[in-house]
A and B are shown apart, each in its own frame.
Chain A
């Protein structure tokens, strides 16, 4: 898909989607930052699927776990902020997709797995993580930050890329 080929209403709705996804990331990040003792340990320890041993390994090393906790808390918060603001939208989308991929494969919603901690549903392979991931893919390829977002100003100032006109 080429940037800037979408009509006005598709761009508006995709922007709305971007803001809502950003909101979700921001909430997840800030909720973890403000919780007195949040840790990814419980989540990682219940990992299932092909990469389970890798995730469990991460949870068992205290030093590495501490880093993971910090990266997760701040990563989610920053991605959320950037998506809501439409700043560095492509970068934020890629990082956000990376996070969701990790979440998806840590607790894949495959038939036959039963989790004790809440997950994002299971609808046979598809879950809400996967839906959000696909939505972020749309955000990634449509560059909605340059339609409505700080990217529009940044790119305007740098004047290197065409802003997306609303046709």
Chain B
């Protein structure tokens, strides 16, 4: 069709009309639709302004200090979690990436090094705080070196101030101790260590070297959690007497992560770093001795909140768990765990239930604190259960806290018309509680505030939100669950257990 058209046109041109020059009319007609772009731009700007105004109203933008001391950072462990942390760090001002260390030099190391370099060009389009990020990115654009062996990195990179560790759990203790002793501040992902002995060594090393060690329980720096802890529970005591806690992380079945043959790590190096093969290297979370299973991977984040919000460590734990879904031939750690902690708080005893399971991701993850005056349902997720409060109708009014902006005004309940409904409500059913929301939104990646807190502490402008002693208490609390499952009995904690 098109070919014929062209032929005919050429004939026509060669014939009567011939090629014409552009006249004024052609130019005007040619440009006639360009103004549409102007209108589009204007509309888009208005749209964007409205969005921005709504976001700004939710959270005040951070103030960038003027005299920012640059911190030289290395990333140790460049897998999925390392990438998450790197992405978050790229949004923090005053950091200079110097090195990325990963034993999977065939893939992980290159990927992250390249992305750090590439990002310096690409991300200027997508980041919120463009200028802030771009300036810090340009500085470290070509300076990232890749390492395989972290000891070599510590030897060569003399200018490093801090190391961020996101390796498998069983490497945390040794690497953290070595980095601290080399005079670096350390941000170490949770779980602090897969053994209490390792965790104790980390606490000791931090004390002896005087260097900072932040454990990656990032909810401790999340503004919503801080708001709930300080204002809602601390100042306003909205829940009254907390009696029960429940929390969960429902997770979908995770497939084998797989390992492309062309990126395989030589067997000798795998062995050197404690892995049997590529399959185990990729899926280390499934194996005893390497990780701690879902109760540690997921539960430790949330059980840490139990300890924090209740203000004490637990006294007892009962637990049940096992490999209910996965084949014991391929998986070692329990895919399903349910446990109940006993807490003796100054206000009285508390029971706290936690479950993590491997089926599907519905109902997600949250922590739910229930008191005689109200309930706090909170989650790190910005999408689900981000922060919801229920006030029992018999509790004192929360008007003053709404006025102060601590909680939102109650959601108007739809009054169910008797004639519209076929349901008959039992008279003994209590009046449903008022629902309020926690008005705090995190616009940054979930890990950014915790990293920011660490780097602020490195600059001497903040104290760590999760120092090793806190991480240790959390590790003791969580690792006991696996013990309790094996023991099939109620285990008790003594106060000494929590002291490193």
Dominant SS at the B interface?
A: helix
Contact A33 B126 (CB under 8 A): yes
B40 and A159 contact, CB distance less than 8 A: no
Rounded to whole angstroms, the CA-CA distance of A152 and B21 in the bound complex is: 11
A148 at interface (Cβ–Cβ under 8 A)? yes
| A161 / chain B contacts, CB cutoff of 8 Å | 6, 9, 13
The docked-state distance in angstroms from the alpha carbon of A33 to that of B126 is 7
Can you list 16 A-B pairs, Cβ within 8 angstroms, ordered by A? A15-B33, A22-B36, A27-B44, A30-B44, A34-B48, A34-B126, A36-B127, A84-B33, A84-B36, A148-B29, A150-B30, A152-B29, A152-B30, A160-B10, A162-B9, A162-B13
Q: Is B128 an interface residue (CB 8 A)?
A: yes
- Assess the B126–A148 pair: CB atoms within 8 A: no
In angstroms, Cα B216 to Cα A42, docked, is 29
Contact pick for A148, options B21, B32, B37, CB 8 Å: B32
User: Is residue B26 contacting chain A, with contact meaning CB distance below 8 A?
Assistant: yes
A161 and B3 CA atoms in complex are apart in Å by 12
Interface string of A58-97 (1 = CB under 8 A from B): 0000000000000000000000010011100010000000
> A92 CB to closest chain B CB, in angstroms?
13
Residue B37 contacts which of A84, A147, A149, A151 (CB distance < 8 angstroms)? Answer: A84
Return A31 CB to nearest CB of chain B, in Å: 9
The 4 closest A-B pairs by CB, nearest first: A153-B30, A159-B19, A156-B22, A152-B30
Do A148 and B33 touch (CB < 8 A)? yes
Which of chain B's residues 152-175 have a Cβ closer than 8 Å to chain A? none
Assembly CA distance A120 to B315 (angstroms): 56
Asked if B34 is at the interface of the complex by the 8 Å CB criterion, the answer is: yes
Over the window 1-44 of chain B, the binary record of Cβ atoms lying under 8 Å from chain A Cβ atoms (1 yes, 0 no) is 01001101110110001011110001101111110110010001
Interface contact tally, CB-CB below 8 A: 75
B20 touches A159 (CB 8 A): yes
Q: Is the CB of B128 within 8 A of A36?
A: yes
The reply to whether B9 and A84 contact each other, CB–CB distance below 8 Å, is no
- The answer to whether residues A84 and B40 also contact, given A147-B29, A162-B12 and a CB cut-off of 8 A, is yes
Name the CB-closest residue of A to B29: A148
Interface presence of A47 (CB below 8 A): no
Contacts of A153 in B (CB 8 A): 22, 26-27, 30-31
A 131-167 binary contact with B (CB < 8 Å = 1; else 0): 0000000000000000111111100110111110000
A interface, CB within 8 angstroms of B: 2-3, 15, 18-19, 22-23, 26-27, 30, 33-34, 36, 81, 84-86, 90, 147-153, 156-157, 159-163
Contacts of B32 in A (CB 8 A): 15, 148-149
| B302 to A: closest C-beta gap in Å | 23
Which of the listed residues B5, B26, B30, B36 has the most CB atoms from chain A within 10 Å of its own CB?
Answer: B30
Kindly state the separation between the CA atoms of A85 and B27 in the bound complex, as whole angstroms.
13
Q: Which residue of B lies closest to A2 (CB)?
A: B5
**B40–A23 CB distance below 8 A:** yes
The answer to whether A152 and B33 touch across the interface, beta carbons within 8 angstroms, is no
A49 vs B175: C-alpha distance when bound (angstroms): 51
Bound: A166/B31 CA distance, A: 16
* Set of chain B residues within 8 Å of A36, measured between Cβ atoms: 126-128
Among A2, A18, A36, A156, the one with the most B-chain Cβ atoms within 10 Å of its Cβ is A156
B314: min CB distance to chain A, Å: 37
B40-73 interface bits toward A, Cβ cutoff 8 Å, 1 = contact, 0 = none? 1000100010000000000000000000000000
**B contact residues around A19 at 8 Å (CB):** 33, 36
> B residues within 8 A CB of A162?
9, 12-13, 17
Chain A, Cβ-Cβ closest to B87: A37
Whole-angstrom distance between the Cβ of B252 and the nearest chain A Cβ: 12
B5 with A3: CB separation less than 8 A: yes
Q: How far is the CB of A53 from chain B (nearest CB, A)?
A: 16
Complex Cα gap A153–B22 (Å): 7
Bound Cα distance A117, B2 (Å): 39
